[in-house]
Amino acid sequence: MEKTVNTPIIEYLLRLADDRLILGHRLSEWCGHAPILEEDIALANIALDCIGQANYLYGAAAQEEGKGRTADAIVYFREALEYKNLLLVEQPNGDFARTIVRQFLYDSFGVLLFDRLQHSTFHPLSGIAEKAVKELRYHFRHSSQWMLRLGDGTAESHMRSQKALDELWKFTDEMFLADPLEDELVKKGVGIASHSLMEEWTGTVHGIVAAATLTIPQKSAFIHTGGRSGRHTEHLGHLLSEMQIVARSFPDIQW
Amino acid sequence: MTINNTWSIDSIKELLSTISDPEIPAISIVELGIVRDVLLTGELVEVVITPTYSGCPAMKMIEDDIRRVLKEAGITSVAVTTIFSPAWTTDWLSEAAKSKMKQYGIAPPAHVAVPHLLQINFPKIICPQCNSTETTIQSEFGSTACKAYYFCRSCRQAFEYFKPF
């Protein structure tokens, strides 16, 4: 099967969309299983926002592609190698602390990224970002408040959140890697240089981690990367098989 | 300009005002600011809507309701277009709409949409039942993404708060 080569704009939109979709999918896995009812509802609502944003981003990518594809076609009929999300968002939920830490590490980045993307010269993207940043603000508020409660909570919650931070920290470098595709789109005013967000992200994260009485882990000796080129951890394959099974079993079905 | 010499943009907007928001029946989709525009081109009526939250699951139902209400009025050539920009904001809610919300039992947005990107402090919300300020947040997200879940320590009732957005 011929591999599709995407234009830079489509590739960039897929990265953003895949980040939101995979994170949204992970959150949806908590539906019916969260530790308290309020969080079952909260995580499901956050998931809805993520998936809604992903839907718009895929729509913009499909429009740009001009082949009449839908978001469903793009989501359900791509292999792991064609997914361009960050490694962080595909990591399993684990316990509630791990989910919150993963969410916090992404939200603190996402809120800055989409705030800047409101100024993209590519107008479907600037419009989507204008909506997404408002939602991300509330996601960030939710995850940062939970960081404080869990870190500065009981000995158990502190231990679990520190463990999660220690294990997920190594995936944070990938969010800020410089990359030629991004550079090209930054020149056109379409994209944002994610490495330019690192300082602000670091300040925010360090501040909240300290307030939560947690410790920032040592910088990883090895930078975990590859998501943007389709080289994922083993977790994505399992996630996609669950997510895609119905559509792939009945490819022509109309909902 | 009219359709069939019967319907004008204003009269169509009035018709759309009979459509309640699926989650807050006290308020119409026009008052909520979901309906942005009505355009008439020949026989075609184009209703331009904007979603509140990106993942709002009620948008499909709202679109269906728009088509149904227009069809019942004899308007069958309908297009529903969704736009994202300008982004929907609670700033568009009129005082009348907010007052209806409060009467329904939902605390309306207390201030303009949050300007600060990384603000994490909660504002003091007035209980829509007893007007006390002795309220406490239970969750950022209530029955829908647009509402937070609060508890009033004074009258000991839970209520929802429509978040500034």
Strands B78-82 and B106-107: unpaired
DSSP 8-state assignment for residue B140: S
Best of A25, A126, A138, A255 to disrupt the B interface (most B CBs within 10 Å) is A138
Tell me which amino acid residue A215 is. T
What average pLDDT does range A244-252 have in this prediction? 94
How many CB atoms lie under 10 A from the CB of residue A82?
Answer: 14
pLDDT reported for residue A1: 46
Instruction: Give the CA radius of gyration of chain A.
Output: 18
For the cut 90, the answer to whether the pLDDT of residue A252 exceeds it is: no
What average pLDDT does range A31-49 have in this prediction? 95
Question: CB under 8 Å to B40, separation ≥6 — which residues?
Answer: B1, B2, B3, B7, B9, B12, B46
pLDDT reported for residue A206: 98
- The ipTM assigned to this model is 0.86
Best of A30, A137, A149, A208 to disrupt the B interface (most B CBs within 10 Å) is A137
Nearest by CB to B87, which of A46, A51, A134?
A: A134
- Measured CA to CA, the distance from residue A51 to residue A57 in angstroms comes to 10
pLDDT reported for residue B115: 58
pLDDT reported for residue A6: 86
Nearest by CB to A204, which of B54, B83, B118?
A: B118
Query: Taking all residues of chain A, what is their mean pLDDT, rounded to a whole number?
Result: 95
What average pLDDT does range A170-184 have in this prediction? 94
User: For A53-91, how does the pLDDT look when each residue is reduced to its tens digit (9 = 90+)?
Assistant: 999 999 999 999 999 999 999 999 999 999 999 999 999
User: For A107-136, how does the pLDDT look when each residue is reduced to its tens digit (9 = 90+)?
Assistant: 999 999 999 999 999 999 999 999 999 999
CB proximity B83 to A under 8 Å: yes
Residue in chain B lying closest to A42 (CA) = B141
For the cut 80, the answer to whether the pLDDT of residue A157 exceeds it is: yes
The low-confidence residues of chain B, meaning pLDDT below 50, are none
Contact A41/B139, CB-based, under 8 Å?
yes
Residue B133 three-state SS: coil
pTM for this prediction: 0.92
pLDDT reported for residue A56: 95
For the cut 60, the answer to whether the pLDDT of residue A253 exceeds it is: yes
